Each structure stands twice: as C-alpha cells, then as structure tokens.
Amino acid sequence: MRVAIIGLGLIGGSIALGLKQANPEINIVGVTPRQETIDEALSRQAIDEGTTDLCRGVADADIVFLCPPLNLIVPTLKKIAQSLKSGAIVTDVGSSKTEIVAQAAKVTPQEVHFIGGHPLAGKEQTKFAAAEANLFQNRVWVLTPTAKTSRPATIILTQLIKLLEARVIEMKTDEHDIAVAGISHTPLAIAAALVNSVAAEKKSQANMKQLAASGFRDTTRVASGDPELGRDMFTTNKKAVLKTLANFKKSLTQLETAIKKGNTTKIKQLLAQAKKFRDEVYV
C-alpha cells in the first residue's frame, strides 16, 4: 500500500510516524513545500520518500492524507485532483467539515473517493519537530462519509486509521461542525478574548501577570495556539461558531445577572450545574 501525506506538520508528521511504527511495510511518500522538512522526515524514518511536487507525490498513491493548513485543504485538493489514480481514497484532517466536504464533492473526479476526516489531537506546536508516533492513541478521529461515499472505501480508511490506535467515529458534517464549534472553536474564541481583556487593562495588567496562577493558565491555554489555524477555524466553521458563541453568551449573561442581583442561590445552582456536567465528561 502506498500512502501520500501532504503537509508534514504536527498532524501529517504524526500520521507518517504512526503508520511506519504500526507497519513498516506501508510505503509512505511525504509531500511538502520545504525540502528541509522532507530531510527531517527522512532522517526520522517517518517517510520512505519525499517530494515538493504535489502531483508527482500523489500519482501512485492508494490513500492520500491532506494535512496542509486548514485554509489550503480545498485549494490543494483542486491541484491534485487530476493526478489521483482511479480508486484512490483521499481524506483530510481539517477541524471543520461541511464546507470542505461540499467543495471536495465538486472537485474530486468520480473514480476517486473523498472522505472528510478530523483527528482530535491538537497541541500548541504545529511543526514536524513536534510530531510523534503515538499522537492519536486513544484520541477520537471523526470521519464524515456522506450518503454517496463508497462503503468499502470508508472501511479501508478506517482500518488504516485504526493502525494509529485512534478511536474512529462517524458523524454527519453539520453535526461534527456544531460539536467542534462548541468544544474547540468557541473555547478558543473565549480564551483569546479573556487574554485580550486582561491585556487591555493597562492599570492592573502588571498585577494580573503577577497573580496569574494555574486557573488562568489552563483557561487560556488554547489561546497560545497558532493564530492562522484559529483564523481558519473561525472562517471555515463560521456559522456553527457564531451559533455556539451566541449560546455561550446567553449562559454567561444568566450568571452575570445572578451576580449583579446578588442571587446567591442562583449563582450556586449555575456553578453546581456546570460542575456536574463537566465531572461527567471528564470522569
């Protein structure tokens, strides 16, 4: 089996390392614009060969993982579409799915299978240097086949991803997007806004920096992620993000009103409710 991985950052690099670790027989070609990254990937034995040429990279591939920056997934797919071999399975790792899957349906040749994907395994670092073979172990990896997607193709892709020890689950694209907006994109918006609101307080900024302890560190951790990735999340998943942001603001206003009124019963009830739900999620 020949696998092409386009983009050798954290995710693409970890897929390469993980597949090689699981089965060295899999032939992996890494495709990335930077020769340095290819050399790095070769020296860590993540790939068997590398190329900076997209079309040459995917020409004989049975399976293609699209792992470029989020906003380049569809443009990259457009570029390789005519070079894919018949029967090839193409998947991506973008964190929003509705727009990507709809666009992919338009540009993918009929004899090629596109299946949207999203491994939930982020880190602050996004480069190949941070890649690790076990990144996806026990992590959820969403696939979003549509009614038109070939079932055998989905099964083959699922088997391959399971080599990475990820937990593959299937979802509809819109269900995926609203869920990810709620648990990933909106938390990022909130974390960034919280940091910016502290930074805007020129007078107490120094004190806040001094007092910032583990609570602030954890609440804002995702704000240290890549701004371009965040921008692309908010752009490609705009509709769902705006919906979950509105829901969040409603919940916040409810708590704020209780604080304003000094309604201690209501404050405690809202906090207890949040604690209960969260403790259920992270047992």
Contact call for residue 242 and a second copy (CB under 8 A): yes
Site for a second copy in 135-174 (CB under 8 A): 139-140, 142, 169, 171
Residues 6+ apart with CB under 8 A from 89: 62, 63, 64, 112, 113, 115, 153, 156, 157
Q: Is 245 in the site for a second copy (CB under 8 A)?
A: yes
User: In the bound complex, what is the minimum distance in angstroms from residue 73's beta carbon to a second copy?
Assistant: 16
Of 208, 262, 16, 250, nearest in space to 131 by CA: 16
Residue 230, interface with a second copy (CB under 8 A)? yes
Q: Which residues pair with 117 in a beta bridge?
A: 143
User: How many residues in the chain?
Assistant: 283
The pair of three-digit structure tokens given for residue 127, joined into one six-digit string? 């480069």
Nearer to a second copy (CB atom), residue 107 or residue 216: 216
Q: In terms of CB distance, is 56 or 275 closer to a second copy?
A: 275
Q: Tell me the three state secondary structure of residue 6.
A: strand
What is the footprint of a second copy within residues 96-115 (CB under 8 A)?
A: none
Distance between first and last Cα of the chain: 39
Q: Which of 17, 121, 156, 170 binds a second copy (CB under 8 A)?
A: 121
Which of 89, 143, 153, 180 is close enough to bind a second copy by CB under 8 A?
A: 180
Q: Of 132, 108, 103, 107, which Cα lies nearest the Cα of 15?
A: 132
| Residue 122 makes contact with a second copy by CB under 8 A | yes
Q: Which residues pair with 115 in a beta bridge?
A: 91
Question: Could you say whether residue 211 binds a second copy (CB under 8 A)?
Answer: yes
User: What is the closest distance, in whole angstroms, from the C-beta atom of residue 1 to a second copy in the complex?
Assistant: 29
Number of residues lying near a second copy (CB under 8 A)? 91
- When asked if residue 282 is in the footprint of a second copy (CB under 8 A), the reply is yes
Q: Which two tokens stand for residue 177?
A: 């997007």
